[in-house]
């Protein structure tokens, strides 16, 4: 029996990928690197600094900046990203999300957010669903990012359950890999990226039956 749900944020609860793309594309252009939507798929589900490193690798500029300068670049991107997020409202929840969360709450199923985004609390507040989650993993406390299972393990333990007792929800391959490595049942939310290794793949959360999930 499963006892709790662990959710990624971007692509599962809401779609802020477009805002990430706008902010990364502008920053990359400032340092002479062009990125497109296809390349942006590589940035989904990974940390801010890992994303920056991949952009620098694309432009053969890995050694062009000090660690302090890289931190400044990442902060500049995030500032722009947060500005773009100001327009978020509950209408930006993905289809079926609120219904699913309401049903989970009615059944007393604890829910966690396991996102690489340091802006998760701000985003959830703008979406009006902060109260639907019992815990949010702080990515600053992690030693490794996805696909490492650390964030998912930490989320389950924060809910007071073992990872094997949790269902994880992800839209990115790195996240699915992390969920499975943690020993969780993996729900893949299709958002255009082909997912491998998920136990089930859906287009929206209301395609799932919560009682059947809990019985896995």
156-205, pLDDT tens digit by residue? 999 999 999 999 999 999 999 999 999 999 999 998 878 999 999 999 99
pLDDT tens sequence across 14-66 = 998 889 899 999 999 999 999 999 999 888 878 889 999 999 999 999 899 99
Q: Which fold has domain 14-84?
A: DNA polymerase; domain 1 (1.10.150)
Please report the pLDDT score of residue 58 as a whole number. Answer: 96
pLDDT tens sequence across 85-101 = 999 999 999 999 999 99
Please report the pLDDT score of residue 53 as a whole number. Answer: 96
Active-site hit among 8, 102, 148, 177: 8
36 is known as an active-site residue: no
Neighbours of 71 (CB within 10 A): 14
Mean pLDDT of 65-73: 96
Please report the pLDDT score of residue 84 as a whole number. Answer: 92
Poorest-pLDDT segment among 16-20, 106-110, 112-116 = 16-20
208 has pLDDT over 80: yes
DSSP 185: E
Active-site hit among 10, 15, 50, 132: 10
Q: What is the pTM of this model?
A: 0.84
Residue numbering of the annotated binding site: 8-10, 24, 43-48, 51, 77, 115-119, 146, 170-171
Residue 5: phi and psi, rounded to 5, are: -120, 140
CA distance 133 to 131: 6
Please report the pLDDT score of residue 210 as a whole number. Answer: 97
**Contacts (Cβ under 8 Å, ≥6 apart) of 124:** 9, 13, 113, 130, 133, 136
Question: Is CATH 3.40.50.970 correct for 2-13+90-213?
Answer: no
CA distance 117 to 120: 6
Total length of the chain: 216
* Bridge partners of residue 31, in order along the sequence: none
Residue numbering of the annotated binding site for substrate: 8-10, 24, 43-48, 51, 77, 115-119, 146
Q: Strands, DSSP E only, in 137-184?
A: 166-170
Mean pLDDT of 142-167: 96
207 is known as an active-site residue: no
Residue numbering of the annotated binding site for Mg(2+): 8, 10, 170-171
Mean pLDDT of 131-143: 95
Please report the pLDDT score of residue 209 as a whole number. Answer: 96
Please report the pLDDT score of residue 167 as a whole number. Answer: 98
Domain ranges of the chain: 2-13+90-213, 14-84
């Amino acid at each position: 029996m499963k006892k709790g749900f662990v959710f990624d944020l971007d692509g599962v609860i809401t779609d802020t990928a477009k805002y990430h793309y706008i902010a990364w594309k502008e920053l990359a252009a400032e340092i002479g690197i062009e990125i497109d939507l296809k390349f942006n798929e590589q940035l989904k589900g990974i940390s801010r600094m890992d994303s920056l490193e991949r952009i620098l690798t694309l432009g053969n500029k890995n050694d062009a900046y000090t660690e302090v300068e890289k931190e400044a670049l990442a902060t500049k991107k995030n500032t722009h990203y947060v500005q773009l997020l100001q327009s978020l409202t509950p209408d930006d929840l993905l289809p079926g999300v609120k219904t699913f969360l309401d049903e989970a709450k009615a059944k007393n199923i604890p829910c966690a957010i396991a996102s690489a985004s340091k802006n998760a609390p701000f985003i959830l507040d703008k979406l009006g669903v902060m109260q639907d989650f019992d815990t949010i993993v702080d990515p600053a406390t992690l030693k490794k990012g996805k696909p490492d299972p650390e964030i998912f393990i930490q989320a389950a333990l924060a809910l007071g359950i073992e990872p094997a007792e949790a269902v994880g929800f992800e839209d990115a391959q790195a996240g699915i890999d992390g969920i499975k490595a943690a020993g969780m049942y993996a729900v893949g939310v299709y958002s255009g990226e082909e997912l491998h290794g998920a136990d089930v793949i859906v287009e929206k959360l209301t395609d799932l039956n919560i009682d059947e999930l809990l019985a896995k």
